[in-house]
């Protein structure tokens, strides 16, 4: 088992390296820098001495291979560079943003699981019924709705009209602030979970071992609990894991809409002022989150499902 | 479910017609007919979907916005499908080092969420329509590539491909005339679903202010303005979002319907 875990960890390294290369090259090959964009915005940056000084300070004069080497060797020491905007180390810009993003991803997933799994389950137990059709309509709608529009509607109804919840912002340990963004972000994984659960349950219900169990007189509630649920659980947990992994990337628009101080809103803000080191750092965090969660899902999968060969 | 296909086709046709006939259907000019005297009017004659803060007709802006959304959706998906099919077919056909390389690249692309990747590219290229087409066209081809590769692998050893090889067809001709026509079905399905995601991504980027820049109307940037008006003019937020929803729903249903018709075994499965 340890060997499997180790191999799975090592497998991530080439992908991470490639991602680092891609985000490095996107931002170094293309002309136009933070400094020129500052001038384009009409700020008082036309002084050539100041420009040269800043170029030297951020190492922008060095040839690309040198900059790549500096960047990668910095990464190995958890040094992501210096923010152009705040002149702070990127790690200390990113640090405080991480927990709000993780909170939002977990809350959205909780909502998605609490609604999506029961919906899919009940729909599959009555295939072809009105409830089943309604669930599937909900699912395809949930996958088609722009989440930031849903967020706006939720804001309008629950914050502006009813006044039940705050319309935006973040407060530590405040569930009230978390509710609306989590629902808006959770609708699409909810829809996916409903679909996956339904498909999984339908598959298992037609399996031989369920027919056998039924034939030998297992009661319906026990059949659902012990035979179907257990087998669908692996599929559902995998889907949930993979979804949590991609939620941090999906959350950028929602974070921006609700002024949520996470990685996503930091990314958007840094993109608009071309604070490239922070953009690179934020993308890297989002990708790492995805890869690490995927790895954990794979490992958990091997632990739960004895059919998966670990050797 | 035949219903998915028919209803999806209906929704998509409505949106396509709206985009094509925007000039005829729109009661007002989407940009020039700003009139502060009639700002934030609720829906009613002659502004059937109300007006925004500058007194522009929301309906007219939605009709013109359909052009932007569809154009970005379709063109960027054509780029994605071309890249995905070319890489996938050649990887499956040639195998070896090239296959390993394409596989690795696909895994990397799957690890970077496409919206995040597009955002990063937009950061470099700056806002605007051409950058959007490039950013969205380069970042969402991995599923197409996987499917093209998988199908090519299973076709490669079939007798008609071997026969073509024996008859002296070049590799390029075999890929083009023997393999591509046989995988058009799945590519069409994933392409249709991809248009839906591209429309969503365009709206999201424009909403964030790094896609289509005002005053050109796009459903995404209409929602940016509407956010400020939520209390006084909620219709300015409701209708553009509804347009995005209906369009994406249309393409999703159409894609699902196509898949059900082309491959009954794949029913309701969706990655």
Whether pLDDT at A37 is above 70: no
Chain A residue whose CA is closest to B244 = A146
Is residue B268's pLDDT more than 70? no
Residue B57 lies in a domain: no
- Of B38-52, B65-79, B162-176, the poorest mean pLDDT is in B38-52
The answer to whether residue A276 scores a pLDDT higher than 80 is yes
CB contact under 8 A, B241 and A156: no
ipTM of the complex: 0.85
Taking only residues 10 to 49 of chain A, the set having a beta carbon closer than 8 angstroms to any beta carbon of chain B reads 14-15, 18-19, 22-23, 26-27, 30, 32
Q: Does position A91 have pLDDT exceeding 50, yes or no?
A: yes
Q: CA A141 to CA A35: how far, in whole Å?
A: 44
Measured between CB atoms, does A114 come within 8 Å of chain B? Answer: no
User: Is residue B61 one of the residues assigned to a domain?
Assistant: no
pLDDT surpassing 60 at residue B242: yes
Question: Measured between beta carbons, which residues in chain B are less than 8 angstroms from residue A291?
Answer: 111
Q: Using the structure block, give the residue that is written with the tokens 């020039």.
A: B32
Interatomic CA distance for residues A123 and A222, integer angstroms: 18
Q: From the candidates A32, A149, A281, which should be mutated to test the interface with B, based on the most B CB atoms within 10 A?
A: A149
- Per CB-CB distance under 8 Å, the chain A contacts of B223 are 148-149, 152
Q: Does A206 touch chain B (CB under 8 A)?
A: no
The answer, yes or no, to whether residue A308 has pLDDT greater than 70, is no
| Residue A48 pLDDT level (bands cut at 50, 70, 90) | low
For residue B43, is it within any domain?
A: no
Contact: A144, B230; criterion CB under 8 Å = no
Nearest to A27 among B105, B113, B124 (CB): B124
Q: Which of A158-162, B71-75, B115-119 has the lowest mean pLDDT?
A: A158-162
Q: Cα(A185)–Cα(A253) distance, rounded to whole angstroms?
A: 9
Give B184→chain A minimum CA distance, Å: 24
Residue B269 pLDDT: 43
| Strand stretches in B88-210, DSSP E | none
Kindly state the average pLDDT of the residues B197-210: 91
A22, B112: Cβ pair inside 8 Å?
yes
Q: Which domain holds residue B246?
A: 2-13+71-263
Domain boundaries defined on chain A: 2-90, 94-304
Size of interface A-B (CB pairs under 8 A): 124
Partners of A279 on chain B (C-beta within 8 Å) are 120, 123
Out of A26, A155, A253, whose CB is closest to B230?
Answer: A155
Q: What sign has the CA pseudo-torsion B19, B28, B65, B13?
A: negative
CA distance A202 to chain B (A): 11
Q: Which tens digit of pLDDT belongs to each residue from A221-258? A: 888 888 888 888 888 888 898 889 889 988 999 999 99
Distance from CA of A249 to the nearest CA of B (A): 6
Domain count, chain B: 1
Q: How many CB atoms lie within 10 A of CB A30?
A: 12
Which chain A residues are within 8 Å of B230, Cβ to Cβ?
152, 155-156, 160
Closest CA to B114 of B191, B196, B197, B213: B197
Asked if residue A45 has pLDDT above 80, the reply is no
Average pLDDT, stretch A290-294?
A: 90
Q: Which residues pair with A82 in a beta bridge?
A: A89
Q: Does this model's pTM top 0.90?
A: no
Q: What is the pLDDT of residue B271?
A: 35
Query: For residue B139, is the peptide bond before it cis, meaning its omega torsion is within 30 degrees of 0?
Result: no
What CATH number was assigned to the domain covering residues A94-304?
A: 1.10.3720.10
Section B70-74 average pLDDT = 93
Average pLDDT over residues A260-284: 88
Q: Is B95 left (phi over 0), alpha (psi -120 to 50) or beta?
A: left
Q: Quick check: A284 pLDDT over 60?
A: yes
Tokens 């393999």 — which residue?
B179
Read off φ and ψ for residue A166, nearest 5 degrees.
-65, 145
**Whole-Å CA distances, A118 to A121, A220, A229, B109:** 5, 17, 11, 33
Q: Tell me the pLDDT band of B187, cut-offs 50, 70 and 90.
A: very high
Among A30, A199, A249, select the one facing B116 at the smallest CB separation.
Answer: A249
CATH code for the domain in which residue B223 is found? 1.10.3720.10
Residue B40 lies in a domain: no
Mean pLDDT of all residues in A24-41: 62
Contact A152 B227 (CB under 8 A): yes
Interface test with A, best of B73, B101, B111 (most A CBs within 10 A): B111
Q: What value does the mean pLDDT take over residues B21-46?
A: 77
Token couple for B224: 């940016």
Say what angle helices B129-137 and B114-125 make with each other, to 10 degrees.
140
Q: Which residues of B touch A256 (CB under 8 A)?
A: 208
Chain B CB contacts of A287 under 8 Å are: 111-112, 116
- Are the beta carbons of A22 and B122 separated by less than 8 Å? no
DSSP secondary structure string, A132-199? Answer: HHHHHHHHHHHHHS-HHHHHHHHIIIIIIIS--S-SS---TT-HHHHHHHHHHHHHHHHHHHHHHHHH
- Which band of pLDDT confidence, cut at 50, 70 and 90, is reported for residue A51? low
Are the C-beta atoms of B220 and B206 separated by less than 8 Å? yes
B1 falls in which pLDDT band (50, 70, 90)? low
Q: Is residue B167 part of a domain?
A: yes
Q: pLDDT tier at A267 (50, 70, 90 boundaries)?
A: very high
In-domain check, residue B239: yes
Q: Mutating which of A146, A191, A297 best tests the B interface, going by the most B Cβ atoms within 10 A? A: A146
Question: Residue B33 domain-assigned?
Answer: no
B123:A149 CB<8 A: no
Do the Cβ atoms of A249 and B227 come within 8 Å? no
What's the token pair of residue B230? 């939520």
Nearest to B230 among A32, A160, A267 (CB): A160
pLDDT-derived band of residue A311, with 50, 70 and 90 as boundaries?
very low
Of all residues in chain B, the one with the smallest CA distance to A264 is B116
With an 8 Å Cβ cutoff, are B204 and A146 in contact?
yes
Closest residue to B115, CB basis, from A155, A249, A272: A249
> Would you say residue B182 lies in a domain?
yes
DSSP state of A223: I
User: Which residues of chain A lie closer than 8 angstroms to B208, CB-CB?
Assistant: 252-253, 256, 268
Kindly list the residues from chain B whose CB atom is less than 8 angstroms away from the CB atom of residue A199: 268-269
- Contacting residues of A for B234, CB less than 8 Å apart: 156
Mean pLDDT (chain A) is: 83
Half-sphere exposure of A12 (CA within 13 A, CB side): 17
Q: What does the pLDDT look like over B228-239, one tens digit per residue?
A: 888 888 888 889
A253–B204 CB contact, under 8 Å: yes
């Amino acid at each position: 088992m340890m060997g499997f875990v180790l191999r799975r960890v090592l497998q991530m390294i080439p992908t991470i390296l490639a991602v680092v290369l891609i985000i490095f090259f996107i931002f170094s090959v293309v002309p136009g820098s933070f400094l020129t964009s500052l001038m384009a915005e009409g700020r008082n940056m036309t002084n050539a001495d100041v420009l040269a000084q800043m170029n030297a300070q951020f190492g922008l004069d060095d040839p690309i291979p040198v900059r790549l080497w500096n960047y990668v060797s910095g990464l190995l020491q958890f040094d992501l560079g210096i923010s152009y905007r705040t002149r702070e180390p990127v790690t200390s810009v990113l640090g405080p943003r991480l927990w709000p993003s993780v909170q939002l991803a977990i809350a959205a997933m909780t909502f998605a699981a609490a609604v999506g799994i029961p919906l899919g389950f009940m729909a599959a137990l009555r295939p072809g019924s009105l409830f089943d059709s309604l669930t599937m309509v909900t699912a395809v709608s949930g996958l088609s709705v722009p989440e930031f529009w849903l967020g706006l509607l939720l804001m309008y109804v629950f914050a502006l009209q009813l006044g039940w919840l705050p319309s935006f912002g973040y407060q530590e340990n405040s569930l009230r602030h978390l509710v609306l963004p989590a629902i808006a972000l959770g609708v699409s994984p909810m829809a996916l979970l409903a679909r996956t659960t339904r498909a999984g349950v339908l598959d298992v219900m037609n399996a031989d071992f369920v027919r056998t169990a039924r034939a030998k007189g297992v009661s319906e509630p026990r059949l659902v609990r012990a035979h179907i649920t257990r087998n669908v659980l692996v599929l559902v947990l995998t889907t949930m894991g993979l979804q949590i992994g991609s939620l941090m990337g999906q959350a950028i628009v929602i974070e921006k809409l609700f002024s949520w101080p996470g990685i996503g809103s930091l990314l958007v803000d840094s993109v608009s002022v071309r604070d490239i080191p922070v953009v690179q750092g934020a993308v890297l965090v989002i990708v790492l989150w995805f890869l690490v969660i995927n790895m954990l899902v794979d490992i958990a999968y091997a632990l739960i499902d004895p059919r998966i060969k670990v050797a | 479910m035949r219903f998915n296909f028919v209803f999806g086709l209906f929704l998509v046709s409505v949106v396509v017609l709206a985009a094509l006939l925007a000039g005829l259907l729109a009661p007002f000019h989407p940009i020039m007919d700003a009139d502060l005297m009639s700002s934030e009017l609720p829906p009613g004659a002659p502004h059937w979907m109300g007006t925004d803060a500058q007194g522009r007709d929301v309906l007219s802006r939605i009709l013109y916005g359909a052009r932007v959304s569809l154009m970005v959706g379709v063109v960027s998906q054509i780029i994605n499908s071309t890249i995905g099919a070319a890489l996938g077919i050649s990887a499956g056909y040639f195998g070896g080092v090239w296959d390993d390389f394409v596989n690795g690249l696909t895994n990397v692309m799957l690890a970077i969420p496409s919206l995040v990747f597009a955002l990063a590219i937009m950061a470099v290229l700056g806002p605007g329509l051409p950058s959007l087409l490039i950013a969205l066209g380069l970042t969402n081809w991995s599923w197409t590539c996987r499917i093209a590769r998988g199908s090519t692998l299973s076709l490669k050893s079939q007798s008609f491909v071997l026969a073509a090889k024996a008859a002296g067809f070049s590799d390029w001709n075999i890929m083009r005339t023997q393999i591509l026509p046989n995988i058009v079905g799945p590519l069409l399905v994933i392409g249709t679903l991809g248009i839906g995601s591209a429309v969503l991504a365009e709206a999201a980027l424009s909403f964030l202010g790094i896609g289509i820049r005002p005053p050109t109307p796009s459903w995404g940037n209409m929602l940016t303005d509407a956010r400020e008006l939520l209390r006084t003019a909620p219709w300015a937020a409701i209708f553009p979002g509804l347009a995005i929803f209906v369009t994406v729903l249309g393409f999703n249903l159409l894609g699902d319907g196509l898949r059900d018709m082309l491959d009954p075994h794949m029913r309701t499965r969706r990655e």
